[in-house]
Amino acid sequence: MTIPRLHFAHLPTPVETLPALSARLGGPTLLVKRDDQTGLAFGGNKTRKLEFLTADARAQGADLLITGGAAQSNHCRQTAAAAARLGLACTLVLAGEPPRNPTANLLLDQLLGANIVWTTNDARDETMKRVEEEARRAGRAPYLIPYGGSNEVGALGYVFAMQELMQQGAHPDWIVVASSSGGTQAGLTVGARLFGYEGRILGVSIDKPEVELSRDIVAALAARTARKLGEDLTFNASDILVDDGYLGGGYGVMGPPEIEAIRLFARTEGLLLDPVYTGRAAAGLLDLIRQGFFKKGEAVLFWHTGGTPALFADKYAGELI
């Protein structure tokens, strides 16, 4: 089956060892998959998804991409960059209040030429649909990308990311990845089945306290993604590992565990994490290592999903130094 795909990500992204951090923690051997280096406006995991989503948009004749997220959304920043690269208009529906001085991802959204519509978190999806309808009435051909790019089209990016990892000769016992809207973990789950990864994938929940709901979401999306590839695969919630023990103060709230993780990765490996996703997932990873969850001698790969521009947002910068 031929799946439409554009190619603008810098692939394959490197797999690196983390020897200093591994020695400091005295636990498993740590590796990192550098999807912060996918190359599209500071990179990140959404770039892989957008290779398939924008190909689908182009196949449908779209001239406008619409998506939504938080004010400092990494997904929105990468969508705006993809739209600019492909000559498409872009409207971002962001939850929150417009700041007087935009910084970090929001600054980049504007630099990339995106039109921004502000709304509340509860009304985000409704506002996105309204913006889409208004665009159609105005004679545009909009393409609506869901929150996080997490549908069966976007998740294809991480099916083939798992193939890429296998081709790089990396066979870690564990993969640990930030999990929110579920598309990255769902794609990896399908890719593991298709390309023979025999380890385990652990999603550290960033914002959902309901583990069973998260597992159901990922399993259902994995099944739909497999069908998109013409594969009749079944996934159950029991196949999905999600840990919701590291939610802290809630989505986008950086606390002592995230600060410790960001500082530790920076000061042992020169590796920058972000305050919302990778900082929280890494905080979970550190705690699990200290608890002895992973065995000595195991290899654990931390899948870096990007997001580092958020380090420069006013709400975080002052807390990190």
Residues designated catalytic: 73
Q: What is the DSSP letter of 88?
A: -
Token pair 């990778």: residue: 278
Backbone angles phi and psi of 29, in degrees to 5:
-75, 125
Q: What angle do CA 267, 284, 182 make, to 5 degrees?
A: 115
Cα end-to-end distance, the chain, whole Å: 50
User: CA-to-CA distance for 62 and 26, rounded, in angstroms?
Assistant: 52
Token pair 């497999």: residue: 226
Q: Is 32 left (phi over 0), alpha (psi -120 to 50) or beta?
A: beta
> Are the C-beta atoms of residues 267 and 195 closer than 8 Å to each other?
no
Q: Which two tokens stand for residue 117?
A: 């519509």
In Å, how far are 92, 109, 218, 263 from 113, measured between CA atoms?
Answer: 10, 7, 33, 33
Helices (H), the chain: 19-25, 46-59, 74-86, 104-111, 124-137, 156-167, 183-195, 211-228, 256-269, 278-291, 314-317
Beta-carbon contacts of 137 under 8 Å, excluding residues fewer than 6 positions away, are none
User: CA-to-CA distance for 55 and 137, rounded, in angstroms?
Assistant: 24
